[in-house]
Structure 1
């Protein structure tokens, strides 16, 4: 994946978390900021804009996703055998992608107790597989 495509992909995934999705918005607790599970990560990323922790939660959500995706992109750039996520051009909007991720996780509750990075990539490889 070219650097520009990786940048677009990273930006798309990160920005998707900027807006909470409908009625799932809630307040993130200090414990959830440790994101030990996917359930914690989803709670942080869907913090209500009216909550005092909103700015911190969304910034944390973005940073977590940036780190995870940049690591993946670096590995995939070196070894095409490790590439399994291929986002479309243009990538999905942030609201669409977040809605899809949250919907996917709720439809696959077996991942709620997994590490969030694992769930993010289970989702991405399911939704945006390389052909």
Structure 2
């Protein structure tokens, strides 16, 4: 897991070193891939770096989920996925995502948010809307 640690370290240094100056910079932020997010989510150690990797993973998942809820409220866009009434545990989501990425290696180089949304749409598809009755008006 050395590449995960160096990737996490680079992300943390970028966040800490940049601060307000980073917001004013024209340099683009590095893109997090689905494979890298899955590697962070798959960290299993009890050392500080593994715990930070899992924390980053869970924060990313929760952030994406909260954003999805906000943009799909009534009047917003159609949801990409529909969670069951009983929200799954974060640990389950994390493990399920890692398993999905391992089974779909073609997704590893996509943006992390795209891969996470594809996993969610596959794992928690929305029911198809009921067909309308009657003819067109």
Give secondary structure in 2 for the equivalent of 1:90: coil
1:51 maps to what in 2? 47
- Is 1:89 the equivalent of 2:91? no
Give the counterpart of 2:75 among 73, 79, 88. Answer: 79
Q: Does 1:113 align with 2:89?
A: no
Residue 72 of structure 2 aligns to a residue whose secondary structure is helix
Matched-pair contact (CA < 8 Å) for 1:105–1:112: yes
Q: If you compute each CA radius of gyration, which structure gives the higher value, 1 or 2?
A: 2
2:5 to 26, 29, 51: 29
Runs of 5+ unmatched residues, structure 1: 1-25
**Counterpart selection for 1:68 from 60, 64, 76:** 64
- Tell me if the contact between 1:76 and 1:82 (Cα under 8 Å) persists in the aligned partners: yes
Q: Secondary structure in 2 aligned to 1:129?
A: coil
RMSD: 2.2
Which deviates the most, 97-106 or 77-86? 77-86
Aligned to 2:124: 128
> CA contact under 8 A between 2:101 and 2:108: conserved in structure 1?
yes
- In structure 2, list runs of 5 or more residues that go unmatched: 12-30, 128-137
Count residues in correspondence. Answer: 106
Match of 1:103 in 2: 99
**8 Å CA contact retained: 2:43, 2:54:** yes
